[in-house]
């Protein structure tokens, strides 16, 4: 299992984005692959584009386009800190930025 490049701590990534520096629970979390889809899920795993989400936010990301897009664009930006846009597209098939 590859290490997440999205976060160092086991905590909900979206709760962290909304809550600055408060202490968050490491329990009851579910793993989300940032770029979803049959083939992309596996590539997300290999490239570390995955994150912990609380149950509420995990459901939200899978049901709300806007929330899904926040996660996807953040993941792509993270990937592109160390790779090119072309590499991202060659792996995931398209760009969300
Ligand atoms: Zn959350
Ligand atoms: Zn998920």
Once rounded to an integer, what is the mean pLDDT over residues 72-82?
98
Q: Find the 5 Cα to ligand 1 centroid distance in Å.
A: 18
Separation between Cα atoms, residue 23 and residue 3, nearest integer Å: 22
Measured torsion, CA atoms of residues 89, 72, 46, 14, in degrees rounded to the nearest 10: 160
Output the pLDDT for position 70.
97
For 1-97, strand residue ranges (E) read 29-33, 50-54
Output the pLDDT for position 11.
97
Q: Find the 86 Cα to ligand 2 centroid distance in Å.
A: 25
Q: Find the 88 Cα to ligand 1 centroid distance in Å.
A: 27
Supply angle C-alpha 14, 18, 20, rounded to 5.
115
The bound ligand whose nearest atom lies closest to the alpha carbon of 36 is 2
Q: Find the 17 Cα to ligand 1 centroid distance in Å.
A: 9
The average confidence (pLDDT) of the chain is 95
């Amino acid at each position: 299992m590859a290490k997440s490049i999205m976060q160092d701590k086991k905590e909900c990534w979206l709760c962290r984005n909304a809550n600055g520096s408060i202490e968050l629970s490491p329990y009851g979390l579910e793993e989300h692959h940032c770029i979803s889809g049959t083939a992309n899920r596996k590539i997300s795993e290999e490239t570390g584009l995955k994150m912990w989400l609380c149950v509420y936010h995990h459901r939200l990301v899978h049901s709300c386009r806007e929330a899904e897009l926040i996660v996807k664009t953040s993941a792509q930006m993270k990937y592109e800190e160390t790779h090119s846009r072309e590499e991202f597209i060659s792996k995931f098939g398209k760009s969300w930025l």
